[in-house]
Copies of this chain bind each other. A is one copy, B any other.
Amino acid sequence: MAIYLTIATQLRDEIRSQYTHGDLLPPEHQLAKRFNVNRHTLRRAVDELVHDGLVRRFQGVGNQVVSTPIDYALDHPSCFSHNLSKMGLPLDTEVLGCRQEPLGEVLAERLQLPPDTPVVVIRTCRCIDDKPSTLIRHHLFNVDLQQMRRFSSGSLHRFLEQSYGFQANRGTTRLRTRMPTFDECGQLAIGRGIPVMEIHSRYHLKESGALMEYAISISRGDLFEYSVEP
């Protein structure tokens, strides 16, 4: 077995037993000295841990044991911001764009609607602690573009309720995981080694049951954990 693999295994064990989230590992040259290997070999070992998602590198700072994922309950009809503010994390929403466009063929087929159905598409970025964590494309039905342009921050669903009296129920939700695209890496400020969770959510009006929103969210997989209650 390769030296770097055995070192990686040992470091994994030590991290699990002796470190907590956010701790910095000893500097590489020190670990290299301890294991009696070249720094390159030790880096190769740490690469394994980074690949496992156990450690993150910070140039000029050190190698950090990653934090535990944030819990995000899915079953609650409440929306995203509600769940996170409960945890006391500073949450911020940045609107990246807002415009009206036709639904498009793909979504049209999925939602069984005409392709030229007008929707207002709002792209937002959710930041936790000023770090981007989720990118969302909201597709909103039966809303006014000019009105929606006035949405700038906070909870979109609260804005919709105040503007239109819309009250939403969560419909079918689909989750999948994949690696981020190049653009998403930049927008989420992550490397290409961190997977993302892609979630498609439907929201229906509480009154009529009509489709109100189809949202596609791309979240950092290393930050979130999703729970489904029976």
Contact = CB atoms under 8 A, between A and B. Distances in A.
B77 A172 contact: no
Given A77-B109, A169-B230, A170-B230, 12 more contacts: A5-B182, A48-B192, A52-B179, A74-B198, A75-B106, A77-B110, A174-B226, A175-B226, A176-B226, A177-B221, A195-B195, A195-B221
A177 B85 CA distance: 21
A166 interface: no
B224 A74 contact: no
Q: Which residue of A77, A109, A200 has the most chain B CB atoms within 10 A of its CB atom?
A: A77
Nearest to A224: B176
Copies in the complex: 2
Contacts of A77: 106, 109-110, 230
Contacts of A216: 74
B228 A176 contact: no
Contacts of A171: 230
Given A169-B230, A181-B72, A230-B172, A192 B51 contact: yes
A117 interface: no
Contacts of A186: none
Nearest to A75: B106
A193 interface: yes
A17 B80 CA distance: 38
Nearest to A16: B106
Q: Which residue of A172, A198, A230 has the most chain B CB atoms within 10 A of its CB atom?
A: A230
Nearest to A53: B178
Interface string A73-113: 01101001000000000000000000000000010011000
A207 interface: no
Contacts of A52: 178-179, 181-182, 192
A177 B192 contact: no
A158 B195 CA distance: 34
A53 B228 contact: no
A29 to B, nearest CB: 19
Contacts of A230: 77, 169-172
